[in-house]
Amino acid sequence: MDARQPALSALLFLVTAMLAACGGGSGEGLDANGRPIAGGAAPGALAADFGSIQDHVFTPICTVCHAGGAAPQGLRLDAANSYAMLVGVPSSEVPAVLRIAPGQPDASYLIQKLEGHAAVGSRMPFGGPYLDAATIDIIRQWIAAGARS
């Protein structure tokens, strides 16, 4: 129509080409938050071992809040930190209770928080949706068996 038309067409072509290039590249294998799908919705069923619980629960659900310097109660649950911050470590809210007491799921603050009967604060994940009983039971089994890494 006017003199700008060819330039506009060229721009549209360029944008379309860039979007097409992205489709086969950078967006692949990432979830809606841009995180690798492997670390989020892990393949396979949840099993009673640390790696599986990390991949199915801690990383996709808990690290929304429990990560970085501002993690609630200083509890970071990303794969690099969670084990060392949980197993055999006193909770911040009730220091007499370990976050995870190996062999003792009932005495583990993490379980008390997941089931909603801890002495302090809210049920986890904060604000819900909460983990179903089957998922909590598998975490209980891992703790009962010694909470090995």
Report if residue 79 touches ligand HEC, rule: CB under 6 A.
Answer: no
Task: Give the binding range for ligand HEC (CB under 6 A) out of 2-10, 20-28, 42-50, 54-62.
Answer: 54-62
Shortest separation between residue 64's beta carbon and ligand HEC, angstroms: 5
DSSP type of residue 90: B
Q: What angle do CA 106, 112, 113 make, to 5 degrees?
A: 155
Per-residue contact flags (x/-) with ligand HEC for residues 18 to 37, judged by CB under 6 A: --------------------
Report if residue 40 touches ligand HEC, rule: CB under 6 A.
Answer: no
**H-assigned helices in the chain:** 5-23, 50-53, 59-61, 82-86, 109-115, 133-144
Shortest separation between residue 69's beta carbon and ligand HEC, angstroms: 14
CA-closest candidate to residue 125, choices 113, 117, 136, 134 = 113
Report if residue 100 touches ligand HEC, rule: CB under 6 A.
Answer: no
